[in-house]
Amino acid sequence: MPVMATPFQSTPSLRTSSHSSCAPGDASRFLAREYFPETRRLHRCKSLFFRRDDRMCRATRSFALLAMLLGAASAAAGPADLAVLDKPADEAEMRSHLHTLSQHLRATPNDAVLLTRRGETWFRLREYDRAIDDFTRAIVLDAASDDAYFGRGMAYGRNGEIDKGINDLGTYIDRNPGSTLAYTKRGVRYLWLGDVARASADLRQAVALDPRNAEAHDDLGVAHAQRGEYDDAVRHFSATVRIDPAYQKAWHNLAMVYYITGKGPQALDAIGQSLQLKPEDRNALSLKGEILESIGRHAEARKARDDAELLPGGNWSEHMSIR
């Protein structure tokens, strides 16, 4: 469930404009001082990345958003078990897929499987209320529909109804205790609530089930960072990028921890890796500017900040593939 993927970047990236919205699905980063010891660098991060407003921000006021921070909060989800989650890939295709599902449902309105598939498509379109409606209808028709519980748990979380989402994911986990993804998603949602203890327990279980679960390592790094356990945070962020070198969020989070702990050269290298993967990431460019400033490269820092100001913010997404 889901992280600054924008908390250090949850599970929800670092946002540089203080006036930007915090709608679910937005890639902004959230960083509040209560989650880091007081340092000058923290105050710099706070002024750059603190976000406010909107129900998800109100619900998640925690460094945990870092887990979702960078956008690819679920980059480690792996191959989808459900074809509809792999395809279609763009909005036009999804709308076409949605139309086909709706046509079938007109003929067989009590088909729980079709309702679940349509709910998953609504989710991918970020129309979470409609997704929740379809998943709920599927559950009423078939209380044994694990996919519907998982989907509704995901949709509730992204809709700001995080406790309900955790409950549904809990039902899925009770029935599927070997799902590393479900533990990861519930752990992310605990991060959104600021419940670091429960988040850590779920994320540790996710890693135990699959030591190569890059997303779980990344979000566990966020949980350690919230506690000021920076060595452990670095260990898990580093594990993420070893498993998946294209996991941009983890590179960004690694840069954040190095920067906050005064390791400017390492921070610069990590943010460079992040920007190689996503050159026009406003949050990463802003962080690069702060890192360059901290090591005395003022002209380059100014240029990075200026470049960042010209770029729009990004969005993060979550995979829903169940395994």
* 293 is a domain residue: yes
Burial of residue 298 (number of CB atoms within 10 Å: 0-12, 13-18, 19+) = exposed
- Residue that terminates a domain, selected from 125, 150, 176: 176
Q: 92 and 67, same structural domain?
A: no
Same domain flag for 110 and 89: yes
Single out the residue in 129, 151, 176 at which a domain terminates. Answer: 176
Same domain? 65 vs 94: no
* 168, 83: one domain: yes
List the one residue out of 225, 161, 165 whose CA is nearest residue 196: 225
Same domain, 258 and 289: yes
* 198 is a domain residue: no
Same domain, 8 and 83: no
Buried b or exposed e, range 79-90, using 16+ CB within 10 angstroms: ebeeebbeeeee
Q: Are residues 221 and 319 in the same domain?
A: yes
Contact 50, 60 (CB under 8 A): no
Domain total for the chain?
2
Asked if residues 24 and 38 have their Cβ atoms less than 8 Å apart, the reply is: no
CA 153, distance to chain mean position in Å, is: 15
Within-domain flag for 29: yes
Assess whether 92 and 2 both reside in one domain. Answer: no
Judge whether 81 and 322 are in contact, CB under 8 Å: yes
Q: Do 256 and 310 belong to one domain?
A: yes
CATH code of the domain in which 90 resides: 1.25.40.10
Output the tens digit of pLDDT for each of the chain's 323 residues. 333 333 366 444 222 222 222 322 222 222 222 222 333 344 334 333 333 233 233 222 233 333 333 232 333 232 233 333 434 458 888 899 899 999 999 999 999 999 999 999 999 999 999 999 999 999 999 999 999 999 999 999 999 999 999 999 999 999 999 999 999 999 999 999 999 999 999 999 999 999 999 999 999 999 999 999 999 999 999 999 999 999 999 999 999 999 999 999 999 999 999 999 999 899 999 999 999 999 999 999 999 999 988 887 644 445 555 55
Kindly state whether residues 220 and 307 are assigned to the same domain.
Answer: yes
Q: Are 288 and 265 in contact (CB under 8 A)?
A: no
Domain contains 88: yes
Could you give the CA distance from residue 256 to residue 48 in angstroms, rounded to a whole number? 12
Do 315 and 216 lie in one domain? The reply is yes
Q: What spatial distance separates the first Cα and last Cα of the chain, rounded to whole Å?
A: 14
The pTM score is 0.73
C-alpha span between 150 and 169 (Å, rounded): 6
**Is 321 found in the same domain as 268?**
yes
Q: Which domain holds residue 218?
A: 1-76+212-323
Cα(315)–Cα(210) distance, rounded to whole angstroms?
A: 27
- Confirm whether 207 is domain-assigned: no
